[in-house]
Amino acid sequence: MTDTTTHRPVGRLGNPALSLADDPRADPRMIAVLGAFGVTGHADDAPIDRTAGREALLAFVAAVEEGFEGFFAALAEPWAPVPGIVRETREPAPGVTLHVHRPEGADGPLPVVYQIHGGGMVMLGATGQAYMHWRDELAAAGAVVVGVEYRNGGGRLGAHPFPAGLDDCATGLRWVLDHLDELGGTHVVVTGDSGGANLALAVAIRARREGWSDRIAGIHALCPYVLGTWDRAPEHLHSLRENDRYWLNRQLFPLLAEVYDPGAGNVDDPTCWPARATVDDLRGLPPHLISCAELDPLRDEGIAYHRLLLQAGVPSVGKVDLGLCHVGQILFRDAMPDVYAAAVREVVGFAESVRP
């Protein structure tokens, strides 16, 4: 990518020594928060590569998960609770827990937002403080929100490679679709961020294969992590180089991919890596909204997926939020309340827009 005013390459394409804090495109409010945590410089090199062996990779993921969980908890700790939200849990199958958030005293049935948490499909969980708050905010905006706790490929919840997590997401979603009246819902949209966006896109492809995608009203994917082959990424995905080490180091992606899909045994399966989808895999799917961040290494794979959806005739809106790092739309609730509120409106507004 180039700066249209100077015609010079931007980010680390133009200056390999550039850091997130020095990039003039970065939102200064974001930089202030990240600077307080010391994460505006270059992300550290990974200490191992994907050939290190499964035990070493699982230990690495456990350490990375601890760091991310601590960071997200520290970000969310000062956020004021969202009033007027009722929470409950359901267990549609062994090992699958659904966290249901609804606005207290809601008048009439509401859209249901089925939320899948991020973490590269190998770490993090639905009960993290930031994700609990995110679902509360979506519910307060006028939705019944159901967050699914699924089996990760690694981390503290155990090592369950593909397709375990996708199986759980599909199981939970089908339960929600079958219990709309009980939940007080009108229709269901699926949303996810990062690895959760992978699973949101993948569950739609799986539903199409199995003949039930027409029951899903829409898919919202925030900063999708879908390529699967980052160690041999196509040249046209400029953001992998342009924004490398802007909070996320692209060296991390092949390691997480190996934990999720050992030996790359499913590298060509679009329900594992949606970037592998063909037009025929996507044709007939419900409307999508693909939301990317300007300073995210993953930006261009999300844009490419949006364009593939359009080629398949799927209604899709693609957008890029300026000045933000990976999933920056939902990280900075207090420092960037306008950005966070816009992200809430985006999801719930999309759900309203696809109401049958």
Which distant-in-sequence residues (6+ apart) come within 8 Å of 189 by Cβ?
111, 112, 113, 114, 216, 217, 218, 219, 220, 347, 350, 351, 354
What is the per-residue pLDDT across 155-202, written as a single tens digit (0 to 9) for each? 998 999 999 999 999 999 999 999 999 999 999 999 999 999 999 999
Does residue 302 have a pLDDT over 80?
yes
pLDDT band at 2 (very low <50, low <70, confident <90, very high): low
Q: Taking the C-alpha atoms of 330, 343, 26 and 127 in order, what is their torsion angle to the nearest 10 degrees?
A: 10
DSSP letter assigned to residue 78: T
Does residue 326 have a pLDDT over 90?
yes
* For range 148-152, the mean pLDDT: 97
pLDDT of residue 179: 98
pLDDT of residue 268: 97
pLDDT of residue 41: 83
Dist. CA 282–CA 264, nearest whole Å = 22
DSSP letter assigned to residue 287: P
pLDDT of residue 106: 86
- C-beta of residue 325 within 8 angstroms of C-beta of residue 33: no
Strand-pairing partners, residue 218, are 189
Work out the number of other CB atoms within 10 angstroms of the CB of residue 16: 10
pLDDT of residue 44: 78
- C-beta of residue 98 within 8 angstroms of C-beta of residue 89: yes
Dist. CA 137–CA 101, nearest whole Å = 9
What residue spans of the chain are helical by DSSP H?
A: 11-14, 28-36, 54-76, 129-140, 164-178, 180-183, 195-210, 239-242, 252-260, 279-282, 299-311, 337-353
pLDDT, mean over the chain? 96
